[in-house]
Chains A and B, each alone.
Chain A
Amino acid sequence: GAGVSQSPRYKVAKRGQDVALRCDPISGHVSLFWYQQALGQGPEFLTYFQNEAQLDKSGLPSDRFFAERPEGSVSTLKIQRTQQEDSAVYLCASSLRQPGHGMNTEAFFGQGTRLTVV
């Protein structure tokens, strides 16, 4: 596709349920980011992949959060035993090159997945 695609767009989970959020980046993009956005706030960094390598996971709030990008394209963010505080919009972004490498570092975002934990 032409842009970053995320699915599902909306997810309602019962507390304690596991969820998996999918991101299809722009084809050929090396860098992939996951962000969490609470209502009325700016996005906050969760994790970064360069191809299939997860180079930074410093923003993952707990060990219940896990992300993977096994073949360097599609990525999945998994949240185990969801809690109410996990309710947020989860945004995925990709860029052709990694930050700091000159041109083609513009980040393109998907529409996000709105997760509501009840």
Chain B
Amino acid sequence: KQEVTQIPAALSVPEGENLVLNCSFTDSAIYNLQWFRQDPGKGLTSLLLIQSSQREQTSGRLNASLDKSSGRSTLYIAASQPGDSATYLCAVSTSGTYKYIFGTGTRLKVLA
């Protein structure tokens, strides 16, 4: 059974810091991994999708890496801004299923 863990659960940093969010999963047989952002009371906004054959994806200040063999992904946020404050969720789609399994998220607060 696929399990997804995200650490840290919460993070508070001053503006301008580079930071790393971690996601680990127990079953390496995945189709893809997707990172989302969720603002309070809102739905999920897709940030980056990494296919199982890829090792990383980049979008602006965001970079996500995938190491299937070790069951890990990291989301790197460069030069953090107060507007980055949100909960960040990772989700994996496992081979042989249709569902995405989510972690419980990392609550990020960037202080001005």
- State whether these chains interact: yes
Does A42 sit at the interface, judged by CB under 8 A? yes
Interface residues of B in 56-107 (CB under 8 A from A): 89, 91, 93, 95, 97-105
Does B46 sit at the interface, judged by CB under 8 A? yes
Does A48 sit at the interface, judged by CB under 8 A? yes
Cross-interface CB contact of B46 among A50, A58, A109, A111, cutoff 8 Å: A109
Count of A-B residue pairs with CB < 8 Å: 74
The interface size of chain B toward A, counting residues with CB under 8 Å, comes to 26
Q: Are B97 and A56 in contact (CB under 8 A)?
A: yes
Alpha-carbon separation in the docked complex, A35 to B102 (Å): 10
Q: Are B43 and A110 in contact (CB under 8 A)?
A: yes
Q: CB-CB < 8 A to A108: which residues of B? A: 46
Chain A, interface size: which category?
A: 20 to 34
Does A105 sit at the interface, judged by CB under 8 A? yes
With known contacts A100-B95, A105-B31, A42–B46 Cβ distance under 8 A = no
Ordered nearest first, which 4 A-B pairs have the shortest CB separation? A42-B102, A109-B44, A45-B99, A111-B43
Interface residues of chain B, those whose CB is within 8 Å of chain A, are 4, 31-32, 34, 36, 41-46, 49, 51, 89, 91, 93, 95, 97-105
